[in-house]
């Protein structure tokens, strides 16, 4: 992902939105003028009121951001006309990445799957991680293992079906004897099923006692 700031200036909101789309293994490149952070840039025009011009404003935020980026050890800086010096990255301990689970890529993912599969009734479980760390894959693996038990029903809820499509794909890969019977519905021959419901429909069905009960799981 490349964000260029020479013409329109630096938009903090754009950086925040774009940074959230970079998955593991991706790169975010921020192209800035030199020097940067010593004076307002064109993006400050959004905040300038007549008779002030954006160049008359202070730039405390931009200056602080420039300092943070300059001193950060997690960022590679490449000045135009100069050679690119890449830092030596620390060696990764193999024990930290080996999961001990053939379906999982990392130990963290394997641990998350174990916790999901071992869920108890009325015991909520919240999993948080940065984007691209394998949360959806872990959820799909856990769902597949739960579905292999007879008569299990799992409901996935999210604002849109597309948000959990990767979960269905993972389940389909791990449960070859199952099949999609609808855009958000996967069933196994032995009776277990995985379905998607948006929050409003899920609430309606719970209130009508059409969802929930023994053998049911809610994932979101």
Per-residue confidence in pLDDT tens, the chain, 220 aa:
888 888 888 888 888 878 777 777 788 888 888 888 888 888 888 888 888 888 888 888 888 988 888 888 878 888 888 888 777 766 655 545 566 788 888 888 889 899 888 887 777 888 887 777 788 889 999 999 999 887 788 899 999 998 899 999 999 999 999 999 988 999 998 889 999 999 998 888 888 888 776 656 777 6
Structural domains in the chain, sorted by start: 2-71 (no CATH), 94-219 (3.40.50.300)
DSSP string, 95-111: HHH--S-TT-SSHHHHH
Contacts 24+ apart (CB under 8 A), 3-8: 3/28, 3/29, 3/30, 3/31, 4/31, 5/30, 5/31, 5/32, 5/33, 5/36, 5/41, 5/43, 6/31, 6/32, 6/33, 7/42, 8/42, 8/43
First-residue to last-residue Cα distance in the chain: 28
């Amino acid at each position: 992902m490349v964000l260029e700031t020479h013409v329109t200036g630096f938009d903090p909101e754009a950086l925040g939105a774009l940074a959230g789309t970079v998955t593991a293994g991706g790169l975010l490149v921020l192209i800035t003028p030199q020097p940067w952070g010593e004076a307002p840039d064109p993006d400050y025009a959004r905040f300038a009121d007549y008779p002030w011009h954006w160049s008359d404003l202070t730039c405390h935020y931009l200056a602080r951001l420039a300092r943070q980026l300059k001193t950060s050890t997690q960022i590679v800086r490449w000045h135009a006309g100069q050679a690119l010096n890449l830092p030596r990255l620390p060696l990764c301990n193999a024990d930290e990445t080996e999961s001990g689970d053939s379906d999982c890529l990392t130990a963290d993912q394997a641990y998350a799957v174990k916790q999901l599969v071992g869920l108890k009734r009325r015991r909520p479980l919240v999993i948080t991680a940065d984007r691209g760390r394998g949360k959806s894959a872990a959820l799909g693996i856990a769902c597949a293992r739960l579905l292999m038990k007879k008569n299990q029903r799992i409901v996935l809820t999210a604002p849109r079906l597309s948000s959990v499509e990767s979960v269905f794909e993972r389940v389909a890969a791990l449960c070859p004897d199952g099949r999609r019977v609808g855009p958000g519905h996967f069933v196994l021959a032995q009776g277990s099923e995985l379905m998607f419901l948006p929050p409003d429909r899920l609430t309606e069905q719970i209130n009508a006692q059409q969802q929930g009960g023994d053998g049911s799981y809610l994932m979101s």
